């Protein structure tokens, strides 16, 4: 197996190792906000999370649908704190309509992954499911091992040099 094939496998498996994603949103006034959310992913690698109407990131996404997200290796599991494996993606956010077939299917995925708490979130009227559609990003496996992720080319990974 070639090195790029090994990297491709590591990339495909990376998000399975974490249960939440860090969100970076921006208000209409340009004020940044960092937050997090537990997530599920579909077969096309779109990311979904429940968003409370009370959360600052929810309002930010209503005003500006561009979001950067970060999946990052747990500090306690990484070999070197300065080279934590991570995946950052630039995404387009869309709010899903409640009670549609797709909304129900994604809700079921959440329930399978996270349990009974999801039943409560599904019943609360201010909670929405947000779909994040990745465009591009970077996958970092350590020092000098940074790859550009291109979703337009079928999740092609290209080593970034110099």
Q: Give strand ranges (E) for the chain.
A: 20-26, 32-38, 40-41, 47-52, 66-72, 86-95, 127-142, 145-150, 156-159
Higher per-residue pLDDT: 57 or 5:
57
Please report, for the chain, the start and end positions of each structural domain, with discontinuous segments joined by +.
3-159
User: Residue 114 phi/psi, 5° resolution?
Assistant: -120, -10
3-159 has CATH 3.30.300.30 classification: no
* pLDDT per position as a tens digit, 38-85: 999 999 899 999 999 999 999 999 999 999 999 999 999 888 999 999
- Please return the burial class of 89, using the count of CB atoms within 10 Å of its CB with bins 0-12, 13-18 and 19+: buried
33, 26 Cβ separation under 8 angstroms: yes
Determine if the pTM surpasses 0.85.
yes
Angstrom distance (rounded) from CA 150 to CA 81 = 26
């Amino acid at each position: 197996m070639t090195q790029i094939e090994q990297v491709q496998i590591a990339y495909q498996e990376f998000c399975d190792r974490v249960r939440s994603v860090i969100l970076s949103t921006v208000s209409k006034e340009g004020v940044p906000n960092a937050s997090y959310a537990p997530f599920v992913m579909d077969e096309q690698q779109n990311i979904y999370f429940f968003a409370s109407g009370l959360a600052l990131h929810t309002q930010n996404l209503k005003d500006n649908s561009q979001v950067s997200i970060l999946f990052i290796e747990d500090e306690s599991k990484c070999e070197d704190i300065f080279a934590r494996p991570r995946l950052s993606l630039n995404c387009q956010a869309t709010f899903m309509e409640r009670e549609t077939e797709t909304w129900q299917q994604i809700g079921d995925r959440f329930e399978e992954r996270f349990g009974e708490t999801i039943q409560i979130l599904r019943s609360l009227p201010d909670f929405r499911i947000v779909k994040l559609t990745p465009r591009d990003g970077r996958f970092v496996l350590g020092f000098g091992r940074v790859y550009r992720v291109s979703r337009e080319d079928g999740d092609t990974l290209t080593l970034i040099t110099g």
